[in-house]
Structure 1
Amino acid sequence: MANKNNVTELIFTGLFQDPEVQKVCFVLFLPVYLATLLGNGLILVAVSISKTLHSPMYFFLSSLSLVEICYSSTIVPKFITDLLAKVKTISLKGCLTQIIFSHFFGVVEVILLVVMAYDRYVAICKPLHYMNIMSRQVCHMLVGGSWLGGFIHSIIQIIITIPLPFCGPSVIDHYFCDLQPLFKLACTDTFMEGFIVMANSGVISIVSLFILVSSYAVILISLRKRSAEGRRKALSTCASHITVVILFFVPGAFIYMRPSSTFTEDKLVSVFYTVITPMLNPIVYTLRNTEMKNAIRMSWKQKDS
């Protein structure tokens, strides 16, 4: 233990080793990140200034967009700049900070998606009581609860990581700091820590998926009594949310709900949910939503004027 944490700087192996491929990735991923900021930022602005987007659904959507910006900004800027660097380094403290915030915002997003599913359940199955159940106070409590859940999760993750002795090697086989790659640098057995991390993430994922599936199962059952037009409208409001849930949960489950590996596909899947998904979410939510498209169009005109 005398050599505990004699590693103060870490080196990423990166996504690819070929410098030319890294330059191509830079050209591809920089516009994706900028589109993430622009798309989610437009949703935030549209919901805040629009007179028609004041329902709970849009309040939750704007909260999700804020989380997407924060989550993406925790990982992607460093990743993009490293694509042009010969040696991709990060301090141990910086690595732990990245882990804290990536897990924090990641779990906030998971809980928000569950909250949005509950919102759709109330809107479709209890339409007459919707505004009473989903009052402004309740909406703020649900969003606040999602942030509290993310905070508790990230604190648990970092509490089990900080005491570990890191005495080399200092190379992380990834393009950003995450727990399983970091554990491989500890000069002690990390089986229990790895199990706790997988169990913690697994419980959150399983419980969230159970609530999501249950909510939509109840919605589908209730729609059997509706007219064809009523079913179409109800399913249309749920389609975007279901798409986002699939885009977020499938890659995340692939990474965090199974034993760690060094396969290159782990990194590629990570790119999907850290870089691509935050950009796709605003596109998914606006393509099928006329109100949102009109509000974004109006906010863009106000910006130009």
Structure 2
Amino acid sequence: MENKNNVTEFILLGLTQDKTTAKVCFLLFLVLYAIIIFGNLLIIITIKTSERLDSPMYFFLSYLSFLDISYSTVTAPKLIYDLLVGKKTIPFVGCIAQLFMGHFFGCTEIFLLTVMAYDRCVAIHKPLHYTNVMNKHVCGCLVTASWVGGFVHSLVQALLTIQLPFCGPNEIDHYFCDVHPLLKLACTNTYVISVLVVTNSGLISLTCFVVLAVSYVIIMVSLRTYSSKGRLRALSTCSSHVTVVILFFGPCIFIYMRPSTTFSADKMISVFYTIITPVLNPLIYTLRNEEVKNAIKKLWSRKVKRSET
């Protein structure tokens, strides 16, 4: 244990060692990160300024967009910068902070997606009681609970990792600091901690996924009493959420619901849920939602009129 503080920084091996590939990835991820910021900010501004989008569904969607920006910002800027430098380093404290923030925003997003499924379930299964059940106070409490749950989860992950002794080597075969790659570098037996990590992360992902599945089973059963037009409208709204859930939960379950081992495909799968999914979310929720598209058009037309005057 006296060698515990030997490692003051970690070396990230990154996505690729090939300089040509790194330059291509730099341009690609720079564009994608710009789309993440612009697309999700556009959704937040549109929802906040549109009176027609004053409903629980869009209230949760605005927070989902904020989480997408925050979650991708934990890793994307560092990844983009590291693609242009030779030696990719991160201080020990910065590594733990990145681990904490990544799990904080990621777990909060998982809880929020589960809350959004519950919201749709109530809206379709009990439409007459929807406004009473999902009032502003309840919506605020659900969002707060998601943030608190994400914080507790990430705090546990960080505390389990930070107390490990790191004597060297200090090379992380990843483009950001995460629990599994760090456990491989610890100079002690990490079996118990790896079980706790998998239990913590895996159970959250699995439990939320089961709740989501049950919610949509109830939704499918309830839709049998709807008219064809009402059924299509409800399915259009729910399909957007289902797509986002599959894109986000699939990679997370693959990464965190297994023993503390790493595979060569982990880095590309991590790119999918840290960058690709936050890019796709604004497109999914705007292209498949007429109310959001109309609100964006009105927002744009108002800005055009102001610029003309």
**TM-score range, shorter-chain basis?**
over 0.9
Deviations along 1:158-194, one digit per CA (max 9) or x if unpaired, are 1111111111001000000001101111111111111
Aligned twin of 2:32: 32
Q: Is the 8 A contact 2:240 2:288 kept in 1?
A: yes
In the superposition, the TM-score normalised over structure 2's length comes to 0.96
Deviation of 1:65 after TM superposition, in Å, equals: 0.4
Equivalent-residue separation in structure 1 for 2:221 and 2:122 (angstroms): 14
Q: Which runs of 5+ in 1 are unaligned?
A: none
Aligned twin of 2:103: 103
Q: Is the 8 A contact 2:82 2:88 kept in 1?
A: yes
- Relative distance call for 1:301 and 1:83 in structure 2 (3 A) is farther
Equivalent-residue separation in structure 2 for 1:66 and 1:97 (angstroms): 19
Deviation of 1:202 after TM superposition, in Å, equals: 1.0
Amino acid corresponding to residue 186 of structure 2 in structure 1: A
Aligned twin of 1:48: 48
Deviation of 1:297 after TM superposition, in Å, equals: 2.5
Deviations along 1:253-291, one digit per CA (max 9) or x if unpaired, are 111111244432111111111111001001000111111
Deviation of 1:299 after TM superposition, in Å, equals: 2.7
Q: Is the 8 A contact 1:99 1:179 kept in 2?
A: yes
Q: Is the 8 A contact 2:183 2:260 kept in 1?
A: no
Aligned twin of 2:289: 289
Q: How does 1:197-236 map to 2 (within 5 A)?
A: 197-236=197-236
Q: Is the 8 A contact 1:173 1:262 kept in 2?
A: no
| Matched residue SS, 1:84 | coil
Equivalent-residue separation in structure 1 for 2:19 and 2:261 (angstroms): 24
Q: Does structure 1 residue 84 correspond to structure 2 residue 84?
A: yes
Aligned twin of 2:75: 75
Equivalent-residue separation in structure 2 for 1:279 and 1:7 (angstroms): 35
Equivalent-residue separation in structure 1 for 2:162 and 2:113 (angstroms): 30
Q: Which runs of 5+ in 2 are unaligned?
A: none
Equivalent-residue separation in structure 2 for 1:23 and 1:260 (angstroms): 32
Q: How does 1:1-305 map to 2 (within 5 A)?
A: 1-303=1-303, 305=307
Deviations along 1:84-121, one digit per CA (max 9) or x if unpaired, are 01010000000000000000000100000000001001
Deviation of 1:195 after TM superposition, in Å, equals: 1.0
Deviation of 1:228 after TM superposition, in Å, equals: 2.1
Deviation of 1:295 after TM superposition, in Å, equals: 1.5
Equivalent-residue separation in structure 2 for 1:199 and 1:286 (angstroms): 36
| Matched residue SS, 2:61 | helix
Equivalent-residue separation in structure 2 for 1:226 and 1:301 (angstroms): 36
Equivalent-residue separation in structure 2 for 1:222 and 1:290 (angstroms): 23
Deviation of 1:49 after TM superposition, in Å, equals: 0.8
Amino acid corresponding to residue 120 of structure 2 in structure 1: R
Amino acid corresponding to residue 187 of structure 1 in structure 2: C
| Matched residue SS, 2:185 | coil
| Matched residue SS, 1:11 | strand
- Relative distance call for 1:169 and 1:302 in structure 2 (3 A) is farther
Q: Is the 8 A contact 1:166 1:186 kept in 2?
A: yes
Structure 1's consecutive aligned runs of 4 or more residues displaced over 6 angstroms after TM superposition are: none
Count of equivalent residues: 305
| Matched residue SS, 2:168 | coil
Equivalent-residue separation in structure 2 for 1:149 and 1:302 (angstroms): 39
Equivalent-residue separation in structure 1 for 2:299 and 2:44 (angstroms): 10
Q: Is the 8 A contact 1:15 1:174 kept in 2?
A: yes
Equivalent-residue separation in structure 2 for 1:250 and 1:21 (angstroms): 27
Deviation of 1:40 after TM superposition, in Å, equals: 0.4
In the superposition, the TM-score normalised over structure 1's length comes to 0.98
Deviation of 1:31 after TM superposition, in Å, equals: 0.4
Q: Is the 8 A contact 1:12 1:174 kept in 2?
A: yes
Identical-residue share of aligned pairs (%): 58
